[in-house]
Structure 1
Amino acid sequence: MAMQESKKKYFGGFQHRKFHDSKVCGCKMSLGVYLPEAYYAEESPVPVIYYLSGLTCTDENASQKSGIQRYADEHGIAVVFPDTSPRGHNVDGESDSWDFGVGAGFYINATESKWKHWKMYDYVTKELPVYLMEEFPNIDTTNASLMGHSMGGHGALTIFFKNYNKYKSVSAFSPICNPINCPWGKKAFGGYLGANLEAWKQYDATELAKGYKGPKTEIFVDQGTADSFLEEQLLPENLKAAVEANPSIDMRLEYRDGYDHSYFYIASFVEDHIQFHAKHLKAEF
Structure 2
Amino acid sequence: MAGAEKPTEVSRWKMFEGYNRRYNHFSPTLGCSMTFSIFFPPSSSPSPTHKFPVLYWLSGLTCTDENFIAKSGAQRMASAKGIALVAPDTSPRGLNIEGEADSWDFGVGAGFYLNAMNEKWKNWRMYDYVVNELPKILDENFEQLDTSRASISGHSMGGHGALTIYLKNPEKYKSVSAFAPVANPINCPWGQKAFSNYLGSSKSDWEEYDATCLIKKFNNTISTPILIDQGDDDKFLKDQLLPRNFEEACKSVNAPLILRMQPGYDHSYFFIATFIDDHIAHHAQALKG
- TM-score band w.r.t. shorter chain: over 0.9
What is the aligned partner in structure 2 of residue 174 from structure 1? 180
Partner amino acid, structure 1, of 2:81: H
1:73 lines up with 2:79 in the alignment: yes
Taking structure 1 as the reference length, what is the TM-score of the superposition?
A: 0.96
Q: Distance in 1 between matches of 2:153 and 2:196?
A: 25
Partner amino acid, structure 1, of 2:240: Q
Shift >4 Å, 4+ stretches? 39-42
Match of 1:64 among 60, 65, 70: 70
What is the aligned partner in structure 1 of residue 258 from structure 2? 252
Q: Distance in 2 between matches of 1:191 and 1:77?
A: 37
What is the aligned partner in structure 2 of residue 136 from structure 1? 142
User: 5 Å matches for 1:142-153?
Assistant: 142-153=148-159
SS of match in other structure, 2:60: coil
1:203 lines up with 2:197 in the alignment: no
Contact 1:39 1:138 in 2 (8 A): no
1:41: how far off? 5.2
Contact 1:110 1:118 in 2 (8 A): yes
Question: Which 5+ residue runs of structure 1 have no aligned equivalent?
Answer: none
1:44: how far off? 1.9
Match of 2:21 among 4, 16, 21: 16
Question: What's the Cα RMSD here?
Answer: 1.3
Match of 2:241 among 191, 212, 234: 234
User: 5 Å matches for 1:1-285?
Assistant: 5-38=10-43, 42=47, 43-217=49-223, 218-247=225-254, 249-282=255-288
Q: Distance in 2 between matches of 1:99 and 1:216?
A: 31
1:163-189 deviation line (CA, Å, top 9, x unaligned): 000000000000000000000000000
SS of match in other structure, 1:210: helix
Flag the 1:36–1:96 CA change in 2: closer, same or farther, 3 A.
Answer: same
1:136: how far off? 1.0
Partner amino acid, structure 1, of 2:144: N
1:135: how far off? 1.8
Say how many residue pairs are matched: 280
SS of match in other structure, 2:244: helix
Q: Distance in 1 between matches of 2:23 and 2:172?
A: 24
1:38: how far off? 2.4
1:1-46 deviation line (CA, Å, top 9, x unaligned): xx97001111111000001110000011100000000288553211
Q: Distance in 1 between matches of 2:120 and 2:51?
A: 40
SS of match in other structure, 2:256: strand
Q: Distance in 1 between matches of 2:100 and 2:284?
A: 38
Taking structure 2 as the reference length, what is the TM-score of the superposition?
A: 0.95
SS of match in other structure, 1:28: strand
Contact 2:56 2:152 in 1 (8 A): yes
1:228-248 deviation line (CA, Å, top 9, x unaligned): 00000000000000000112x
Partner amino acid, structure 2, of 1:272: D
SS of match in other structure, 1:54: coil
Partner amino acid, structure 2, of 1:71: M
Flag the 1:81–1:216 CA change in 2: closer, same or farther, 3 A.
Answer: closer
Question: Which 5+ residue runs of structure 2 have no aligned equivalent?
Answer: 1-7
SS of match in other structure, 2:43: helix
Q: Distance in 1 between matches of 2:278 and 2:194?
A: 31
Contact 1:144 1:167 in 2 (8 A): yes
Contact 2:170 2:222 in 1 (8 A): no
